[in-house]
Amino acid sequence: MKKIGLTGGIGSGKSIICNILKIMGYPVFNSDDQAKLLMTTNNAVIQQIKNLFGEEAYIENTLNRPYLASKVFYDEKLKLALNKIVHPAVRAAFDEWAILQKKPLVFNEAAILYETGAYKTFDYTVLVTAPEEIRIARVTSRDKTTIEEVEQRMKNQWKDEVKIEMASYVINNDDTTLVTPQVIAMLKYFESAI
Ligand SMILES: CC(C)(COP(=O)(O)OP(=O)(O)OC[C@H]1O[C@@H](n2cnc3c(N)ncnc32)[C@H](O)[C@@H]1O)[C@@H](O)C(=O)NCCC(=O)NCCS
Ligand SMILES: Nc1ncnc2c1ncn2[C@@H]1O[C@H](COP(=O)(O)OP(=O)(O)OP(=O)(O)O)[C@@H](O)[C@H]1O
Same domain, 60 and 148: no
Q: Which residues line ligand 2 (CB under 6 A)?
A: 8, 10-16, 111, 138-139, 142, 173, 175, 179
Range of the domain at 131: 1-27+104-194
Distance of alpha carbon 104 from alpha carbon 184, whole angstroms: 15
User: Do 65 and 119 lie in a common domain?
Assistant: no
Residue 36's alpha-carbon distances to 31, 65, 115, 161, 165, in angstroms, are 9, 10, 19, 29, 30
Are 92 and 157 contained in the same domain? Answer: no
Q: Whose CA is nearest to atom 13 of ligand 2?
A: 138
Number of neighbouring beta carbons within 10 Å of residue 179:
18
* Whether residue 118 has its Cβ less than 6 Å from ligand 1: no
Which one, of 134, 138, 114, lies nearest residue 126 by Cα? 114
Both 95 and 55 in one domain: the answer is yes
What's residue 175's pLDDT? Answer: 87
**Ligand 1 binding pocket includes 112 (Cβ within 6 Å):** yes
Q: Band of the pLDDT at 21, cuts 50, 70, 90? A: very high
Predicted TM-score (pTM) of this structure: 0.95
Measured in angstroms, how far is the CA atom of residue 191 from the centroid of ligand 1?
31
The ipTM is: 0.93
Beta-strand pair 2-7/124-129: parallel
Distance of alpha carbon 167 from alpha carbon 67, whole angstroms: 33
The pLDDT value given to residue 180: 97
Domain check: are 122 and 186 in the same one? Answer: yes
d(CA 58, CA 39): 10
Instruction: Give residue-wise pLDDT tens across range 90-135.
Output: 999 999 999 999 999 999 999 999 999 999 999 999 999 999 999 9
Do 192 and 148 share a structural domain?
yes
Residues 153 and 166 in one domain: yes
Domain boundary among 41, 73, 100: 100
Number of domains making up the chain: 2
Res 194 pLDDT > 80? no
Q: Compute CA distances 80 → 17, 33, 63, 118, whole Å.
A: 28, 19, 18, 13
Question: What are the residues facing 169 on neighbouring strands?
Answer: 126
> Are residue 191 and residue 108 in the same domain, yes or no?
yes
Same domain, 118 and 191: yes
Does 72 share its domain with 151?
no
Q: Which phi and psi (to 5°) does residue 126 adopt?
A: -120, 130
Q: What is the dihedral of CA 113, 115, 121, 123, to 10 degrees?
A: 60
